[in-house]
Chains A and B, each alone.
Chain A
């Protein structure tokens, strides 16, 4: 006991010093108006900084959720664009009644797996049957500059597999924007940045740097989405068609977000065309 007292007397000074300074600080900020205000203000600044820092971090972690919600918003807005509408214009007497009907809606999705260097490439996206995706829906790039990605082939509850544009079986109607000569997009393995537009009528005038865009003939894609820029073109001997080699507008190697296109009128078109060919 004595030695404890002795110890405290000898070394207690530091401890007591800190305790009493803490007490003094407490008294200062609690019983002095000016210091109290400064204290509250400063601690607000400090705690505010810390809270901001924390919310910055949590924002970073929520970023993917945020991007998802933005993508969903974009899909909704895209569906309101003109090329997603089916124009039902009725000419009646002299009044022109322009009526638009929703033709395309979009479902946002994220690419979770992809190949681009194989002969037949596929992407996997994180939306499936539950989200309204069905086989034979078109998939376009979220990039505002345009670009298409492929066509949905297989669908599970939560995921879908997309036959990429870089697939030998791909055959999508497309056209030259300037003069609307139509052909089909087709891909030759080996170069993931290029695509061919085949079966373009040979009398069509083609120039370098023409834009290739999705055609109105396609039931899978809204018309007018840029796909590529014409680079070279040639005519195979004895053929009546041009083959065009175009540079893809989007880089399929780093596409993150895509929109799956739902054509509300596809059923009608397909049924009608089946009826016609059945006859």
Chain B
């Protein structure tokens, strides 16, 4: 249990660092219009143990988002998206529950439930995360096109990196 907490704690720190040091600087900016933002830090919420109570997931999501926000200088935007996706995580997991149910204390990882499961899980999760993120960032339905385009690009790239992460580290929890 303790080692698990430490592991997730370390992942928290490393993902935030990766996000703000590496992915923040990957940017295709033309005329002040940034086409995408790559999200890697939500992996922390994605990989929390399945049985974690929603109340903790939401709280951790808030802390994670707020930490990223501090470095992105966009207080509340990442936090809002993270809280939202953290909240719907249990619903997504419930939808994708395999026939035999989840194992106690397992994390929803590729190594535990296969790439097929993980891809669907991550895709739904990231979709909502990114939509909420851009809604909060752009903050007006007037720029619907902008929300749409940036959600699309960001979604594809983020999913790509999240899957790569799974293959690279193949975490069990």
Contacts and interface: CB of A to CB of B under 8 A. Distances in A.
A32 B77 CA distance: 9
Interface string B73-99: 011110110011011001000000000
A9 B80 contact: no
B55 A12 contact: yes
Contacts of B76: 23-32
Contacts of B59: 16, 20
B57 interface: yes
A13 B53 contact: yes
Contacts of A29: 76
Interface in B36-81: 53-59, 61-62, 65, 69, 74-77, 79-80
A27 B70 CA distance: 11
A25 B83 CA distance: 11
Contacts of B61: 20
A20 B85 CA distance: 12
Contact of B58 (A17, A26, A30): A17
Contacts of A27: 69, 75-76, 79-80
Contacts of B77: 24, 28, 32, 35
A24 B80 contact: yes
For chain A, what secondary structure do more than half of its interface residues adopt (helix, strand, loop), or is it mixed?
helix
A24 B77 CA distance: 7
A38 B140 contact: yes
Contacts, number: 81
For chain B, what secondary structure do more than half of its interface residues adopt (helix, strand, loop), or is it mixed?
helix
Contacts of A65: none
Interface in B115-143: 136-137, 139-140
Contacts of B54: 12-14, 16-17
Contacts of B136: 24-25, 28, 35
B15 to A, nearest CB: 19
A20 B83 contact: yes
A24 B74 CA distance: 11
Contact of A28 (B62, B87, B90, B139): B139
Interface string A25-65: 11111111011001100100000000000000000000000
Given A32-B77, A34-B139, A38-B139, A9 B55 contact: yes
Nearest to A39: B139
Interface of B: 53-59, 61-62, 65, 69, 74-77, 79-80, 83-84, 86-87, 90, 136-137, 139-140
Nearest 4 CB-CB pairings of A with B: A13-B54, A27-B76, A24-B80, A28-B76
27 contacts: A9-B55, A10-B53, A12-B55, A13-B57, A17-B54, A17-B84, A20-B58, A20-B62, A24-B62, A24-B76, A24-B77, A24-B80, A24-B83, A24-B136, A25-B80, A28-B74, A28-B75, A28-B136, A29-B76, A31-B75, A32-B75, A32-B77, A35-B137, A35-B139, A38-B139, A38-B140, A42-B140
Given A16-B55, A24-B80, A27-B69, 17 more contacts: A13-B58, A14-B54, A14-B87, A20-B61, A20-B62, A20-B83, A24-B65, A24-B77, A26-B76, A27-B76, A28-B139, A29-B76, A30-B76, A31-B76, A32-B75, A35-B136, A35-B137
